[in-house]
Structures are given as C-alpha cells and as structure tokens.
Amino acid sequence: MTMSRSMRLLPIVLFSLLWSGASLVAQSGEMSVLQNLPAVGVVVRGLSSDGAKLGLTESELIAAVREPLEAAGVRIIPPPMLERTPEAPLLEISANVSQSGRTSYFYILDLQLREPVKPPRVNRTLVTVPAVTWAQQKGGVTANPENVGAALAQLAQRFADEWTEARRAQ
C-alpha cells in the first residue's frame, strides 16, 4: 500500500472510530449499570499514610465525592443508615499516595461502586456477594492536596453524569 493511499484512508478510519464512539456514548444510558440505582453510600476504603502526610483526610475525600453527586440529584445514604443496611450499594474511595520527591506526591485514585450481586446459578450454599459494578481511576503528581480533591471530584462527576444519563434512559 502506498503512502498516499493510506493517507486517503485515514479520514475514513478516523470518522468510523469517532462515529462508533458517539454511538457508544448514546447507548451508555440504556446500558449503564447505574440504571435503577436509588441511592449510594460513600465511604473511604483506603487512604495511604503518605496521603495523610500530604494533608488528605477521609472527610475531605468524602466531601469531594458527595458534592457532584448531590448536585446531580443522587441520593446519598447517611453513615448511620449504612451501618444498619450492609446490602446498600457503596461508592468506595481509595487514595493511594506515595511521596515521590521532597514536596511532590504521586497519587492513584479509585472510585468504585460495590453492590450485592447474586450469581444466577442455583446452589443452596451460594450467597449474595459484593461486586464492583462501576469503576474509574485517575492518577497524577502534585504537591497540593486540593489537586487530589479536584481529581476525585472529576471521577465523581463522571459517575453523576452516567447516573443522570441512565435515569433519562429509564
């Protein structure tokens, strides 16, 4: 294949990729695992010791997630109710932070929806188990704890956007 022929095919290939991506976005609400999700609890499942050195706290991480969710209309299950309902869907925050220089920190954030799932197999001993049904991850390097909170808020906004789209598709 000559270079000019491959250059002529490039716009067609790019258009096809963009079009298929647009159709996936259009279907995301209909296919979302967030359909019929009435409410979620928000908890921190992991905050490394270097995260604490950077100045991160569990309450700040939870607030960074709650704000975009509540703005989108996602109902948040309060902590006292979470203690009484172990089967409640949980949006779990994990902040793995490692000091990578004198003042800089490398971070990886995980935001995962964990819900009780029962496999469709028939088995007397099979119980409902928690499973991750939605997850997003983001990483970076910073010297400022507010940057970590902002990155976590972006992940929460993705969840809120998909939740909103799933509600429209119902």
Convert the pLDDT of each residue in 70-103 to its tens digit. Answer: 999 999 999 889 889 888 899 999 999 998 888 8
Q: What is the pLDDT of residues 115-135, one digit of tens each?
A: 887 777 676 666 777 889 899
**How far is C-alpha 18 from the chain's CA centre?**
24
Q: What percent of the chain has pLDDT over 90?
A: 46
Q: Which residues is 47 bridged to in the sheet?
A: 95
Structure letter (DSSP) for residue 143: S
Residue scoring higher pLDDT (114 or 119): 114
Query: Is the distance from CB of 105 to CB of 50 less than 8 angstroms?
Result: yes
Q: Which of 1.10.287, 3.30.70, 3.40.50, 1.20.1250 would CATH assign to domain 32-169?
A: 3.40.50
Residues 109 and 10: their CA atoms lie apart, in Å, by 36
Residue spans of the domains in the chain: they are 32-169
Give the model's confidence band at 60: pLDDT under 50 very low, under 70 low, under 90 confident, else very high: very high
Query: Is the distance from CB of 29 to CB of 165 less than 8 angstroms?
Result: yes
Task: Give the mean model confidence (pLDDT) for residues 47-66.
Answer: 92
Query: Which of 9-13, 33-37, 121-125 is predicted with the least confidence, judged by mean pLDDT?
Result: 9-13
DSSP for 70-111 reads HHHTPEEPPHHHHHH-TTS-EEEEEEEEEE-SSS-EEEEEEE
Task: Give the mean model confidence (pLDDT) for residues 25-49.
Answer: 76
Give the model's confidence band at 21: pLDDT under 50 very low, under 70 low, under 90 confident, else very high: very low
The pTM of the whole model exceeds 0.95: no
The secondary structure element, H or E, covering residue 46 is: strand 39-47
**Mean pLDDT for the chain overall:** 81
Q: What is the pLDDT of residue 32?
A: 65
From the list 42, 76, 79, 52, the residue with the least C-alpha distance to 148 is 52
Q: Does residue 18 have a pLDDT over 90?
A: no
Q: Does residue 64 have a pLDDT over 90?
A: yes
